């Protein structure tokens, strides 16, 4: 082969290597969308729901949206925590394990966003140097990431810019020495979030309120009222009260139900900001009825009884803004309560086959 031909061949090979490196460093042009996918049952965790928006701020001008097209950020979750972060594009797949158990729940969204952003910057800045290091999951301290974000965000943001060039030199040991002592020294302050005691890992407590309707068949009875609820990603407790009145030629019957509810949910399907789940609820409480008659010869009085019900059905969660969610559910089941009769026929009831619907707004702490 002639010398000019060899020179052209070498130039072509060098151009190919440069193009591959540029593709790995930058996933598309600035402003391109990077997909975010969640695997596991932790889709309702606050840190998971807020990650696309927070990454958009950390890594602007890139946008992060729920989707499955490469390049892609994948979150591996359990029902109570994020376990791993994976980046995929057409050329490579990198995974890093995550542990936020030592981070206060209020700080986990920030910690996960900072950890993921630094992970992506390290891949894009030096894909060759991180190939061996990130091919297997590595434990990452949520404490250290949170502390660095709270106490020294400028230093954290500059770390990937200085670490990759020293990948083949003797500098990494000294870099690790300067970073590692700083995290434990400040972690306790960040973890406690201003002196508040740390809830169990994956708590994600929500408080909500809304309207409720109960319908009982045979005879047809409709009651309406409200409900207060304390909610975690998979379990909740609530207090509710509903009342209603049925009119009959014999008089007017006012009924009511006050109950405490205990329930659980199983996420089934998630699309963008909507999550469909199956819920099951058991309730215990008290039901009462008061009758009034237009004629004195009709005997009317009040009565009460123990109330219990078991219901199940679908629940739809819609993320509104920041930490607010709208929940809609409809459940069917059976109940034990009161049956009101007069003139040898049924007038109203709070027992038998029942349908219950709620609409609530909840805030996640």
Same domain, 219 and 107: no
Which of 158, 192, 226 is the last residue in one of the domains? 192
Which of 192, 227, 257 is the last residue in one of the domains? 192
83 assigned to some structural domain: yes
197 assigned to some structural domain: no
199 assigned to some structural domain: no
355 assigned to some structural domain: yes
Same domain, 272 and 314: yes
Confidence tier at 309 by pLDDT (50, 70, 90): very high
The predicted-structure confidence for 85-124, as pLDDT tens digits, reads as follows 998 887 778 898 988 888 888 888 899 999 999 888 888 8
Total domains in the chain come to 2
236 assigned to some structural domain: yes
Angle at 102 between CA 101 and CA 103, to 5 degrees: 95
Same domain, 154 and 257: no
200 assigned to some structural domain: no
323 assigned to some structural domain: yes
Same domain, 161 and 99: yes
Same domain, 274 and 181: no
With 0-12 / 13-18 / 19 or more C-beta atoms within 10 angstroms meaning exposed / middle / buried, residue 252 is: middle
Which of 192, 218, 236 is the last residue in one of the domains? 192
Gap between the Cα atoms of 280 and 316, Å rounded:
14
- The pLDDT assigned to 205 comes to 86
User: By C-alpha distance, which of 318, 353, 305, 307 is closest to 332?
Assistant: 353
Same domain, 182 and 286: no
CATH number at 260 reads 2.40.160.20
- The pLDDT assigned to 139 comes to 43
The predicted-structure confidence for 244-291, as pLDDT tens digits, reads as follows 998 877 788 899 999 999 999 999 988 878 889 999 999 999 999 998
The predicted-structure confidence for 5-20, as pLDDT tens digits, reads as follows 555 446 555 544 444 4
For the ranges 66-70, 215-219, 327-331, the lowest mean pLDDT is seen at 66-70
Distance of CA 316 to the CA centre of its chain: 13
Same domain, 180 and 215: no
- The pLDDT assigned to 286 comes to 97
Q: Answer whether residue 233 shows pLDDT above 90.
A: no
Q: Answer whether residue 154 shows pLDDT above 70.
A: no
Most confident option among 35-39, 154-158, 223-227: 223-227
Most confident option among 46-50, 175-179, 238-242, 294-298: 238-242
- The pLDDT assigned to 323 comes to 81
Residue numbers of the domain that contains 251: 206-364
């Amino acid at each position: 082969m002639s010398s000019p031909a060899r020179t052209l061949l070498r130039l072509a090979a060098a151009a190919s290597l440069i193009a591959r490196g540029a593709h790995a460093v930058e996933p598309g042009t600035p402003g391109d969308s990077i997909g975010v996918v969640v695997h596991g049952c932790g889709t309702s965790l606050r840190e998971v729901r807020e990650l696309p928006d927070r990454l958009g701020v950390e890594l602007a001008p890139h946008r992060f949206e729920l989707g499955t097209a490469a390049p892609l950020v994948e979150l591996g979750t359990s029902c109570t925590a994020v376990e791993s972060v994976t980046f995929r594009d057409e050329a490579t797949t990198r995974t890093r394990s995550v542990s936020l158990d030592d981070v206060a729940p209020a700080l986990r969204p920030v910690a996960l966003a900072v950890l993921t952003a630094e992970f992506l910057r390290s891949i894009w800045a030096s894909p060759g140097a991180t190939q061996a290091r990130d091919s297997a999951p590595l434990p990452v301290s949520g404490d250290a990431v949170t502390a660095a974000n709270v106490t020294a965000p400028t230093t954290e943001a500059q770390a990937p810019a200085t670490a990759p060039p020293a990948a083949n030199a003797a500098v990494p040991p000294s870099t690790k020495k300067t970073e590692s002592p700083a995290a434990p020294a400040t972690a306790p302050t960040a973890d406690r979030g201003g002196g508040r005691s740390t809830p169990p890992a994956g708590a994600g407590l929500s408080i909500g309120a809304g309207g409720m309707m109960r319908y009982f068949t045979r005879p047809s009875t409709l009651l309406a009222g409200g409900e207060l609820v304390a909610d975690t990603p998979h379990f909740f407790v609530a207090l509710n009260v509903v009342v209603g009145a049925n009119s009959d030629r014999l008089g007017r019957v006012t009924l009511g139900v006050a109950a405490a509810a205990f329930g659980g949910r199983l996420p089934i399907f998630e699309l963008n900001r909507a999550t469909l789940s199956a819920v099951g609820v058991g309730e215990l409480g008290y039901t009462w009825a008061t009758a009034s008659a237009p004629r004195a010869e009709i005997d009317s009085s009040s009565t009460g009884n123990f109330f219990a019900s078991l219901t199940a059905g679908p629940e739809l969660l819609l993320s509104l803004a920041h930490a607010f969610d709208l929940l809609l559910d409809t459940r069917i089941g059976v109940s034990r309560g009161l049956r009101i009769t007069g003139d040898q026929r049924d007038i109203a009831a709070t027992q038998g086959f029942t349908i219950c619907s709620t609409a609530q707004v909840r805030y996640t702490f």
